[in-house]
């Protein structure tokens, strides 16, 4: 009996020690957090959307240095009127995209007067005035500055979209309703001058945030449609004989289903692009901003406006396509150390993936420079993390969008496009979890010899050691290229981004650093570390949608 008791005691002791060992191992072998498996399913039978080849776009605004929000003035000299166009970092940052779409416009564009020949009134900048709409007086764009802007953007290889002053000639009532028709004579003068100078404009956009209930002022849908038709007539007349004419773009405002439906119905042949603005994270001073960005359910809510606009376009006679004409996430200039830090790439890249999934052709980020959401630092012009996220998207994600879903955790956001660099695919994986590493398998849902691929799942806890990964050989049938983005020192508020273990910094001459991948075996899973972003270029997955 004593022997059996001792044997039973030994059995329970060994069982308990084994449980303790498992617990300790699970907590220690992978460092902080745990490791789970997931699968990204890519349906490559047909694309679900198609973006412009140059999907990435950034805005340059009109705000003067004394534009302030929540007691902070974050715009500096980032305005169209005072931006230092001689800065080499600015030039190199735009050139790196070859080309980058630039949308010139913003809140004050409807209060801008364009200098004209023989005008007797002085061409003065915006002056702060709290009694005026938006807190500033009317401002003037000198033609000498217009020349400088066009010369600079041509040198940088940018594709320029310019927002016209849609409030010109109207009176605004107490309720914000803009009465009367658009006086287009000033805009017509600018367009004619632009053509006579030989400047290339990719598109002319009418108005800023005047649709629906408007911001500061609002224009009825039928009147706006009438104004757009006038703009089309002006452009067709001035550009008569040109092989390629600029796009007619409008309304550049927040999505309102009823207003947009009426507007699109009344502009079936006069409009090429319908633009909406997105600030779905709320106010820039919201203390829950970080939590919203890291909440998958909150991010999912962003689908509504994309879906709504596409429904309107598909149910109308128009051939116009959808753009996001301005998107800063958090309005009123964003939030310092959030919208200009690494964490914002989670929101930004998720928006790019979501927008393209709904056949959005172009996505313009507010802003290239200025505010707390600029891709470039307002003072130094040094790129912030979102700049590199945008550049990697631009270089890796092709036009054809693939249906993608992820299984294993809701914390991973997954998107897939046909690759820009090969006939394969590029995956974008975003891990919103602070402690969980995800080993990702890829499964395609089309037939054929290259149609299905399952990356083997490692049994050991993955440790990403970039120094041991090969950077020097070109990918072949057994390898893929990966770009792992993390925050410096793991701090989501950091304004420095780490690519494959190396901090990205400008060259000594102010040039954009090379963005080199690491090469991985196709037999290994894709390891997505906590709070990280991974682009994975897989050239040997050949899908029908990518041929």
Give counts: helices (H), strands (E), the chain: 11, 26
Q: Clarify whether 460 is annotated catalytic.
A: no
Note the residue count of the chain: 547
Cβ-based neighbours of 339, under 8 Å, separated by 6 or more: 284, 289, 328, 329, 330, 371, 372, 373
Helix (H) or strand (E) holding 59: strand 56-60
277: which DSSP letter?
A: E
Alpha carbon dihedral 267, 273, 274, 276, in 10-degree steps, equals -160
Q: Kindly report the backbone phi and psi dihedral angles of residue 273, in degrees, each rounded to the nearest multiple of 5, phi listed first.
A: -135, 130
Cβ-based neighbours of 106, under 8 Å, separated by 6 or more: 59, 61, 62, 63, 163, 208, 326, 366
User: What are 135's two structure tokens?
Assistant: 């807190």
* Residue owning tokens 């052709």: 361
Cα 121 to the chain's mean position, in Å?
Answer: 40
Determine which one of 115, 326, 481, 482 is catalytic: 326
Residue pair 439/429 in contact (Cβ under 8 Å)? The answer is no
* Residue owning tokens 């564009």: 109
Determine which one of 209, 460, 482, 516 is catalytic: 209
220: which DSSP letter?
A: -
Q: Which of 104, 146, 134, 148 has its CA nearest to residue 368?
A: 104
Q: Which of 10, 33, 3 has its CA nearest to residue 531?
A: 33
Residue pair 309/274 in contact (Cβ under 8 Å)? The answer is yes
Helix (H) or strand (E) holding 309: helix 303-314
Per-residue CA distances from 536 to 223, 232, 354, 429 (Å) = 47, 43, 18, 8
Alpha carbons within 13 angstroms on the beta-carbon side of residue 7 total 4
Q: Clarify whether 326 is annotated catalytic.
A: yes
195: which DSSP letter?
A: H
Residue pair 384/494 in contact (Cβ under 8 Å)? The answer is no
* Residue owning tokens 């779905």: 280
* Residue owning tokens 């991973």: 412
Q: Rounded CA gap, 164 and 148, in Å?
A: 18
Residue pair 251/214 in contact (Cβ under 8 Å)? The answer is no
Angle at 115 between CA 125 and CA 136, to 5 degrees: 25
Handedness of CA 504, 509, 515, 518 (dihedral sign): negative
Active site residues: 209, 326
């Amino acid at each position: 009996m004593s022997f059996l008791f001792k044997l039973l005691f030994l059995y329970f002791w060994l069982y308990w020690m084994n449980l303790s060992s498992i617990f300790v191992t699970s907590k220690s072998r992978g460092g902080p957090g745990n490791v789970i498996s997931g699968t990204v399913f890519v349906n490559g039978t047909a694309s679900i959307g198609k973006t412009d080849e140059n999907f990435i776009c950034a805005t340059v605004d009109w705000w003067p240095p004394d534009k302030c929000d929540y007691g902070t003035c974050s715009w500096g000299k980032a305005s169209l009127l005072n931006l230092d166009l001689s800065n080499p970092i600015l030039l190199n940052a735009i050139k790196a995209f070859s080309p980058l779409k630039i949308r010139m416009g913003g809140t004050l564009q409807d209060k801008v007067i364009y200098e004209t020949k023989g005008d007797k009134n002085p061409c003065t900048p915006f002056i702060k005035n709290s009694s005026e709409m938006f807190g500033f007086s009317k401002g003037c764009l000198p033609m000498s500055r217009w020349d400088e802007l066009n010369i600079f953007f041509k040198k940088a290889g940018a594709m320029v979209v310019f927002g016209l002053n849609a409030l010109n000639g109207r009176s605004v009532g107490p309720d914000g309703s803009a009465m009367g028709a658009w006086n287009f004579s000033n805009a017509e003068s600018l367009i004619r001058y632009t053509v006579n100078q030989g400047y290339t404009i990719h598109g002319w956009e009418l108005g800023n945030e005047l649709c629906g209930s408007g911001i500061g002022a609002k224009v009825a849908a039928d009147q706006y449609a009438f104004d757009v038709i006038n703009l089309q007539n002006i452009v067709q007349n001035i550009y008569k004989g040109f092989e390629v004419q600029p796009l007619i773009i409008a309304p550049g405002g927040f999505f309102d289903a009823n207003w947009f439906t009426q507007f699109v119905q009344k502009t079936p042949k006069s409009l090429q692009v319908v633009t909406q603005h997105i600030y779905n994270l709320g106010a820039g001073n919201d203390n829950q901003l970080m939590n919203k960005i890291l909440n998958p359910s909150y991010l999912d809510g962003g689908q509504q406006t994309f879906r709504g606009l596409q429904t309107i376009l598909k149910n109308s006679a128009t051939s116009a396509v959808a753009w996001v004409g301005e998107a800063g996430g958090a309005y009123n200039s964003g939030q310092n150390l959030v919208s200009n830090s690494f964490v914002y790439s989670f929101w930004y890249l998720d928006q790019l993936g979501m927008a393209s999934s709904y056949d959005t052709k172009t996505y313009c980020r507010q802003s290239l420079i200025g505010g707390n959401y600029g891709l470039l630092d307002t003072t130094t012009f040094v790129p912030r993390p979102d700049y590199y996220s945008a550049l990697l998207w631009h270089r890796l994600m092709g036009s054809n969008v693939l249906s993608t879903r992820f299984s294993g955790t809701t914390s991973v956001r997954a998107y897939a496009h046909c690759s820009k660099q090969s006939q394969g695919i590029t995956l974008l994986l975003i891990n919103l979890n602070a402690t969980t590493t995800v080993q990702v398998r890829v499964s395609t849902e089309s037939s054929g010899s290259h149609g299905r691929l399952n990356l083997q799942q490692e049994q050991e806890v993955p440790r990403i050691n970039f120094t041991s990964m090969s950077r020097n050989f070109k990918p072949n049938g057994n390898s893929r290229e990966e770009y792992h983005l993390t925050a410096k020192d793991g701090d989501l508020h950091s304004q420095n981004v780490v690519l494959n273990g190396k901090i990205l910094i400008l060259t000594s001459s102010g040039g954009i650093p090379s963005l080199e991948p690491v090469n991985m075996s196709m037999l290994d899973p894709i390891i997505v570390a906590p709070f990280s972003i991974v682009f994975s270029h897989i050239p040997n997955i050949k899908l029908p949608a990518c041929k």
